Amino acid sequence: MKYDAIVIGGGSAGYVAGSVLSRNGRKVLVIEKDRYGGVCVRSGCVPSIFLYDVSFSLARLREIGNYKGLSLNVEQGDIFSVRNNIIDYLSEAGKKLIENAGGETYFGEAKLSKDKVEVDGRELEYDNLIIASGSSPSLPRISGVENGITEDQAVNLNFVPKEMVVVGGGFAGVEIAQFYARLGSSVVLITRGKMLENFSQDARELVRESLDWDGIIVKEKCEPVYQDRGLLKTTCGEFRGEVIVYATGRRPNFPLGLSNLGIEFNCNGIKVDDTMRTTNPKVWAIGDVVDKSRKVAHSAMMEGYVAALSILGKSVKADYSAVPQVIYTDPQIGSVGSEQRAVKSSSFPLRASTRAIIHGMKEGYVKVGFDEDNRVCFGEVVSQYAEEMINLLSIAIKAKMKAEDLALLPLVHPSTSEGISNAAKALFNLDVDVFKDKQ
């Protein structure tokens, strides 16, 4: 059997590429060894943000009397079944969307020979092969690590542990620590360097205050030494956990036989050009399996579109200049663009935002960076709404928007995202809602 394109992996990257090619009349097969939807649906974004939403609502409802004058008593119901139903729905939808577009799907593990894909003893030929096999958790090499669980397993627990130790201060570790703490776990978070070290000091401090408020013990510059069942020995003491979670990074999933293809790859992933083509002209790679820095679902999807459109003969390129990232903590941190390119920046504190005052949630800020031509090149938002607001800054960067145009853009009043144009106003001393320090 010969296909115009075989896609290995039905996750965020693979289902996009498979669907676009199928919609355009190509004969496509998407092979998935586990469940469609990949990590994002079954053990990443979806369960993680669901538990964030639940814990955020619980925290707000419990304290609502403080800022809205209401009195409520909230009990936790069967949140884990609701989470599982959402995962099942989205995973099934991923498979059906490929089929609806005209593509074929197949459950099995794909293996590679020089110019064929083998699955369950069948040998398949292709004009184009798209590798979208994603990534898996990478665990520290310490004794007893097998008694812990990975970040992917942590977001799929069906109970709230009494005590939890989380190893890893990246986005997954911090999110897991906060939502389980809010659901009732006593949590210790240990991290080798600084927590969320790719984010600014201001953002880290606000999240740190929030973790302190939730009673999470954070130990920085601390590494695990060994695990003895529920006890974790570290360089900064011993900690006991009903569950010990390792959120210690990820490694690419290389399909068996990858080296038969004669393509370049290293321990961070497969090398591609800006159309997602590998060094073998018939082979493309997209998503977490690619050798790149920011591995998130929306860049995996962008790469799926770019690879599929390139195969269809269109002239498109992957552009990473405006790929945002959001940490789903309370408050959320959103960041986009390059701070190194910014020659100046200005910011707006949300305590001066009318909408934030009405909400009663005044922590956070918007910061915007501008390049030497006065165009937006960087954004950072710390807010309950960072996930939505950072998208506006992504559009501003892509559109190379000028500082003065952003400053005079009349965004809805009173809205939290108004803070974005107010941050640009601050560059021109037009941020009239902010009290200035008198000399």
Q: Name which of residues 324 to 383 contact ligand FAD (CB under 6 A).
A: none
Cβ of residue 393: shortest distance to ligand FAD, in angstroms? 16
Could you tell me if 14 and 286 are in contact, meaning their C-beta atoms sit under 8 angstroms apart?
yes
Among 23, 27, 33, 192, binds ligand FAD (CB under 6 A): 33
Q: How far apart are CA 298 and CA 271, in angstroms?
A: 19
391 lies in the site for ligand FAD, by CB under 6 A: no
Query: Which residue number, 284 or 348, has a Cβ lying nearer to ligand FAD?
Result: 284
Query: Which residue number, 112 or 232, has a Cβ lying nearer to ligand FAD?
Result: 112
Query: Which residue number, 304 or 369, has a Cβ lying nearer to ligand FAD?
Result: 304
Q: Which amino acid would we find at residue 274?
A: D
Task: Tell me which residue of 256, 252, 278 sits closest to 113, measured CA to CA.
Answer: 256
Among 4, 34, 104, 242, binds ligand FAD (CB under 6 A): 34
Q: Name which of residues 232 to 261 contact ligand FAD (CB under 6 A).
A: 253, 255
Task: Tell me which residue of 253, 281, 2, 273 sits closest to 111, measured CA to CA.
Answer: 253
Among 105, 133, 185, 329, binds ligand FAD (CB under 6 A): 133
Could you tell me if 298 and 323 are in contact, meaning their C-beta atoms sit under 8 angstroms apart?
yes
Among 38, 148, 169, 419, binds ligand FAD (CB under 6 A): 38
Among 3, 10, 103, 241, binds ligand FAD (CB under 6 A): 10
Q: Which amino acid would we find at residue 395?
A: I
Among 19, 105, 128, 135, binds ligand FAD (CB under 6 A): 135
302 lies in the site for ligand FAD, by CB under 6 A: no
Task: Tell me which residue of 229, 1, 179, 187 sits closest to 104, measured CA to CA.
Answer: 1
Q: How far apart are CA 399 and CA 392, in angstroms?
A: 11
Return the structure tokens found at 160: 């709230």
Among 214, 288, 371, 418, binds ligand FAD (CB under 6 A): 288
Preceding omega of 331 cis (within 30 degrees of 0): yes
Task: Tell me which residue of 258, 301, 47, 293 sits closest to 150, measured CA to CA.
Answer: 47
Q: How far apart are CA 344 and CA 369, in angstroms?
A: 6
Cβ of residue 172: shortest distance to ligand FAD, in angstroms? 4
The residue count of the chain comes to: 439
Residue 379 pairs with which residues in a beta bridge? 336, 368
Query: Which residue number, 59 or 296, has a Cβ lying nearer to ligand FAD?
Result: 296
Cβ of residue 179: shortest distance to ligand FAD, in angstroms? 11
Cβ of residue 353: shortest distance to ligand FAD, in angstroms? 25
Residues that bind ligand FAD (CB under 6 A): 8-14, 31-34, 38-40, 44-45, 48-49, 109-110, 132-135, 151-152, 155, 172, 253, 255, 287-288, 295-298, 300
